[in-house]
Structures are given as C-alpha cells and as structure tokens.
Structure 1
Amino acid sequence: MKEKVDYIIVGGGIAGCTLAYHLIEANQSVIMYDKLNTQSASRVAAGLYNPITGRKMVKTWKADLLFPYLNEFYREVERRTNQKFLVEKEIYRPFHSVEEQNEWMSRSGDENFIPYINTIHQKSLNENYCDQYGGISLANAGYLNVGLYLSSVRNYLKENGVNIVEENFEVQKLKAYEPLVEYNNIEASRLIFCDGAMSLSNKFFSWLPYKLVKGELLEIESDLSENNRIINRGVFVIPKSKNRFRVGATYENYDLTLTPTDKGKSEIEAKLKELINVDYKVVDHFVGIRPATKDRKPFVGMHPNFNKVGIFNGLGAKGVSQAPYFANQFARFLVNQSELDQEIDIKRYYSLYDGETATFDLNEE
C-alpha cells in the first residue's frame, strides 16, 4: 500500500528545514529526503545576518520585513526545541575615511536607518582594530548557529511525524503527472525541491538563471579578546568561543569544487590584516557552494508545466535572513493560495523555459 503525504521536500538545509517547519505548523504532512552532506552550503555557513551590507553599505533588500520576522521565528523555534542557536551581536564596521564617517553621521537621523544603528563612533573603538576613522555599530544583527539549528529542527520535525529519509533523491524515479506526484511508494500532493546547488543539474529547474558561488571560510585562534561584537569590513570576524573566530568569506564563481584553496586562504588573510592588527593562527579551513541567483533574489514557486512540482531555493549568502520570511510566505501560498511576492516568484523567468522538460522521460537515466 502506498504512503500518502501532503508534501515531499527534497533537501534538509536551511531552506528545506525552514519550509518543512512552516508546513507542519499549517497541519500538513511532510516527508523529507536529505542525505547529510557535511560540505553543503548550509552546514558550513557562518550564519551571519546583517541589515547593512555591501561596499556601499546599503540596507539589505526587504530588511524591514525580513529582520523582525527572523527574530520572531528563530526565538519561537528555540522555545519549542529547548535550544539556543540565534546569537544577537552588534556588528562593528570600521569607516574607511572621514567622508564615510560624515555620511553616516548624517544618516543616523534617517528614520529608514534608525532601527539598525546602535552608535556612530568617531574615533577608534579598539586598539586591536584597524579603525582610525571610527566606525558604525549596527543593531538587529548577529549570527545563527546553523549546525545546531538544523539538528534541532530535524529532531522537532521527527517528533511531529516527519519521516526524514537519509538517502539521495533520484529525480529520474519521480512521476510528476496530475493529480499527484509519486516517488517510490509515496504519493504526495506536491513536491518541493530545496536542494541548493544540486538544482542546477535538476531536470525540472536547470533552466533557471543560477549563479553559484564558492565560499571559503577560516577558523582562527587569536587573543583578539573580542566576544561582544562581530567585526565586518572586507571580511567578517565572528566570535565563536574564547579566542576562536570564524573569518570569511570569499566569492568565487569559476572554481566550484569543494576543495579549499591557497588562493582563498590568502584572500581572506589579506583582508583580515586590513581589519585587525593582532596575531592569529589558522586552525581550520571550510568551503561550500552557495545556491545564488543572477538577480540575487530567491527562486520560489511552481514549475510552468508540472504544477505539482515546486522550488524553494536560491537564497545565496542570505539564507539565515531570507529563509524564515519567504518559507512562511511560500507555505501560505501552498496551503491557502495566498499570493507570492513577484520579486521571488519563478514566474519572472518563465520566458526562459523552452518546454524541454515537458517531454523528457522522467524514468530515463
């Protein structure tokens, strides 16, 4: 006899776990396929969430929606799992010049920025920093202990009836024709791919304009003696424990291997030496492939031909901040037929779809 569920979710990283959580909260039954990969982008991510980003220090896209919800969501999951994985810390960003300092002094009274500014420092904050012009301390920031979050949510999902199958999902075995999707001995109302960089080779969604990014990070030991804040300019320095810090990250579009490189290490260290002026020792080196997109907006929605097959992907380096809000929106779309934000809906790329997957044999190797 076939097992019947509302949703099959493929992938158990930040996107898959967060969507599954929202679906079971909406009383939907879920089965998840996720073969643990210690080098997946989610599992090596530093977990930083930051309201002011980029070289030009602009407010993160949709920050006024994303950041209040992420705090509410992660705190709720912490209560339900009896764990603590959201670490609120201000981010200190040194200024490069007096002009930049003056620009932020003028912005400090702007109501659009007030919720995200703690303090404008006009002189050096710490002798261990390279910050002769001072810097800005940002509020509503911090990092997610991604590994603990994922393990906590997986346990919560299992306790609430979600079967997590720790094996690779074989797309060629999927039957995706109306009115249900069928995989092995399971029938589901819908299937959602949350498989990160793997979607680039997925027959259903390979036509979407991904821009995969390799990211390398270092873990260092240092007596920087800074556990109260994250430092971020060129690279971030996140305090993980006493004298241990996570530093990164690189952005590489061409070498997409899961191999740490001397080039990546050198790039991080060069930027680190422009940020702090204390000795350190590199004790570990990580790498992951971020499922980024060409327009830097997530891929959310249903396939143009197979309307029982959907995608929740493309969160790139902002999965921690984007996953909660958009998983909630997508779950409401799936369950209650609510509208999707047009900026994330994959309908914006339907014109790129040539119909090839309308005719491929899903049982063909």
Structure 2
Amino acid sequence: MEVDFLLIGQGLAGTVLSFRLLEVGAKVLVIDQPEANLSSRVAAGLYNPITGKKMAKTWNADLLFPEIEPLYQKMEFLLTSKFLFSKNIYRPFLTIEEQNEWMGKSGELGFQDYFDQIHTKSFYPEVVNPNGGIMLKNSGYLNINKLLDDYSIYLKKEGLLLEEKFQEDLLEISEDGIVYKGIKARGIVYCNGLGAMESRFFRNLPFAPVKGEILDIKQGFIPNEIINRGVFRISLPNGLHRVGSTYTKDDLDLGPTEKSKKEILEKLGKLISVPLEEVIYHRYGIRPATRDRKPFIGKHTAYKSVYIFNGFGAKGVSLIPYYSKKMVEMLFHGGELEKDVNIKRWKNT
C-alpha cells in the first residue's frame, strides 16, 4: 500500500489535518486507538475570541477565527452531520472600570469583528451581572465527539483508517519517505497528542500536560448564549448544561476529582443565581499543552519525512483549522511555519 502521508492519531488534530489533505487530493492513512483520544473527547469544544481574566483578544485571533466556522461547516457537509454550533458568548463585567474600558475598546480597530453589543446594566436576571457585560460574536462550540465518531465512520468506509496501536519500533526511514508494516508513505505526521512524548523523534519537546475537568449538569435557565466568566456554561441540545473547566498542571492522576468538581460548582454559583438541580456527568482529560502554550508543528530537523502536528492544548478547536491549512501548504510546497509554532524554536528536535 502506498500513500502520501501516514497520520498517527484521529483526535481533533488528526481528523482535521487528514480532511485538509484529502481535500487537496492527497492519499492518507490514519492509525488510531479510539480509547487514546481522551483529551479531544472530553473537551468542551469552545471557540472564544476574548479570553482570560483580562478579557484580551486571543492570540492570533485575526488569523484563526476566519478559518474556524468555514472549515467545520465543510466537514458537516461532507459527513451530512451537525456538530458546529455558532453561539454568542455573554461575559459579565466584574467592575464598572472594566465596563468603561470596554466602552473605549468598542471604537478601536480590531475588536469590531468579535463583539456584538455592550450592556451597561444587568442583561440576565439569572446571571450575576450587576455591571452588565459584553456580548461576543464569532464564537460558539464544537461537538467534538460527534465529529470524531462520524469522521471515523467515513474513514473506515473509505478504507483510510487502521484502528490499532502504532508501533514506532516497526517504522523504517528511507531516502524517499517511510515504510511501516509494508505501507509506504512520503511522510509520517504525529497528531497523537501526549502519545508523541513517547516517540524517539519528539520526546525532547517540552510538553506540559494539563488536566482539565468538566461537568454536565441539570439547572434551570436556558439562554441562547454561552455564559462565560470564571467558568463557561453551554446549554446543550439535550437540555443539560456543560460547565468547566479546571486547569491543573500539578495533579495529572487519572480520574475526575471531588476537588475540581467543587471548584467548578463554586465558580458556577458566582456566575448563575439559579439553583443547581443535579450533576449528571463528571469527565476529565489530560490536554497536550506545551511549555509556551503554542503548538508543536513542523518537520523534524534530522528526518525530512517525519513531522508533527500537535500540542494544541485547550484551544484546539480554534487553532487547528488555521494551522492545518498552513501545515498542508508546508507539506506540499515546503517553506517554514512561523517561529511561534515551529518546532525549530526548540533545540534537539
């Protein structure tokens, strides 16, 4: 069997990159262990242009956000499925000073594409927002599980997916590409999240795994918007609300924790005044974050047919559409990716 590229991992990174490659006529084969996609499968899928305590425009927003919805909509069309939900995000102001700051920003270039309206008074009686808040647009969430499941079915139907553990010791590097179990390819791309930490090619990269936990809850108040301050609260089509998430670098033990559950619920109580009815699901995942919080993308310095597309952390839904496009350009036309994401920013890779 001969393909252009062998992709390791069908989490969100491998799914989108393989779609991009197929879109330009490349032959691909994806090797994946479904149970290894825990990071993608528990992610809330939020894409949000204004983030953090300081409510700053997210890094590279002007490059990233024009690619997000068009890419996932094309995948919806291919799979005849629905997994992208475009929704405004309502972010309450914590102080009058913050409200005034955003009133000033509303006239600045670079922000108009991301906010819909500023509210100077309480917008929702069910939300703790005495100082009003900002309504963001070009935002929403992706049902990642639905996307991964439907795309997996598509790959199987097309004969493009091997569901098995990748055995790197069987990988052979040749002058014109790679050979793996009789499969020849121009190149191999590691899209397997934290699995890349075990690779002889990429184990020196400074991954910084982060544990995140989310809850699905029953609670009154079903707004059209996502409510986000301290925690996000997404109203799902099934009537539940997804709330999260935690961000822990020190505790990477497997399994959800009561400590994180308590943290999420305490923050939810400060955001939503409606009583909690019940916690239905409590999930966790270990995100493939990096030391500088920028992805690991590019070609290995010593092996020209070995690549990585990885390290997207908690913002994969936002980052992957744009950088998968840049990755495909690099694979077919050469050149270098920007320094911020290029693995050459780290030595010994």
TM range (shorter): over 0.9
Q: Partner of 1:41: helix, strand, or coil? A: helix
Cα shift at 1:297:
1.0
Alignment pair present for 1:346 and 2:346: no
Cα distance in 1 for residues equivalent to 2:45 and 2:228: 14
1:265 aligns with 2:254: no
Contact kept in structure 1, 2:10 and 2:37, CA below 8 Å: no
Residue 65 of structure 1 is matched in structure 2 by 63
Q: 2:50 aligns with which of 49, 52, 72?
A: 52
Letter in 1 for 2:108: D
Q: In structure 1, what is the Cα distance between the partners aligned to 2:240 and 2:17?
A: 32
Please give the alpha-carbon distance, in whole angstroms, between the structure 1 residues aligned to 2:132 and 2:49: 19
Cα distance in structure 1, aligned partners of 2:69 and 2:338:
21
Runs of 5+ unmatched residues, structure 1 = 354-365
Larger CA deviation: 116-125 vs 35-44: 35-44
Instruction: Give the match for residue 363 of structure 1.
Output: none
Question: 2:37 & 2:165 partners in 1: Cα distance?
Answer: 15
CA 1:176/1:170 → structure 2, altered by over 3 Å: closer, same or farther?
same
Match of 2:39 in 1: 41
The 5 Å alignment of 1:291-330 reads 291-330=288-327
Q: Secondary structure at the match of 2:34?
A: coil
Higher mean C-alpha displacement, 73-82 vs 275-284: 73-82
Query: What TM-score do the two structures reach when normalised by structure 2?
Result: 0.96
Q: Deviations along 1:185-235, whole A, 9 cap, x unmatched?
A: 211110000001111222210111111100000010011232x00001111
Residue 162 of structure 2 corresponds to which residue in structure 1? 165
Distance 2:35 2:83 in 1: 20
Q: Distance in 2 between matches of 1:291 and 1:64?
A: 24
Paired amino acid for 2:242: R
What does the per-residue CA deviation read over 1:108-139, in whole Å, with 9 as the maximum and x for residues that have no partner?
A: 11121011111111111111111111111101
1:179 deviates by 2.3
Q: Is the 8 A contact 2:11 2:37 kept in 1?
A: no
Number of the residue aligned with 1:244: 240
Tell me the distance in 1 between the aligned counterparts of 2:335 and 2:177: 21
Aligned twin of 2:191: 194
Structure 1 residue 293: deviation in Å? 0.9
Deviates more, 1:67-76 or 1:145-154: 145-154
Return the match for 2:147 from 146, 149, 157. 149
* One-letter amino acid matched to 1:215: G
Kindly indicate whether the alpha-carbon contact (under 8 Å) linking 1:39 and 1:258 is maintained by their aligned counterparts in 2: no
C-alpha contact 1:299 1:314 (8 A) present in aligned 2: yes
Offset of residue 158 of structure 1: 4.1
1:177–1:306 Cα contact (<8 Å) kept: no
Aligned to 2:26: 28
Structure 2 spans left out of the alignment, 5+ residues? none
Deviation, structure 1 residue 77 = 1.5
C-alpha distance in 1 between matches for 2:272 and 2:102: 22
Cα distance in structure 1, aligned partners of 2:163 and 2:234: 31
Q: Secondary structure at the match of 1:283?
A: strand
Deviant stretches of 4+, over 6 Å: none
Q: CA deviation at 1:338?
A: 4.4
1:361 is matched with none
Paired with 2:140 and 2:12, the residues of 1 have a C-alpha distance of 17
Other structure's SS at 2:303 match: coil
Q: Does structure 1 residue 235 correspond to structure 2 residue 269?
A: no
Matches within 5 A, 1:67-146: 67-146=65-144
Report deviation, 1:272: 0.8
Q: CA 1:38–1:269 in 2, change beyond 3 Å: closer, same or farther?
A: farther
Matched residue SS, 2:318:
helix
The answer to whether the Cα contact below 8 Å between 1:249 and 1:268 also exists between their aligned partners in 2 is: yes
Preserved contact between residue 30 and residue 162 of structure 1 (Cα < 8 Å): no
Shift of residue 39, structure 1, vs aligned partner: 5.8
Count of residue pairs the alignment pairs up: 348
Task: Give 2:328's aligned amino acid.
Answer: A
Distance in structure 1 (CA, Å) of the matches to 2:305 and 2:320: 21
Q: Please list, as runs of the form range in 1=range in 2, the aligned pairs for 1:329-340 lying within 5 A after superposition.
A: 329-340=326-337
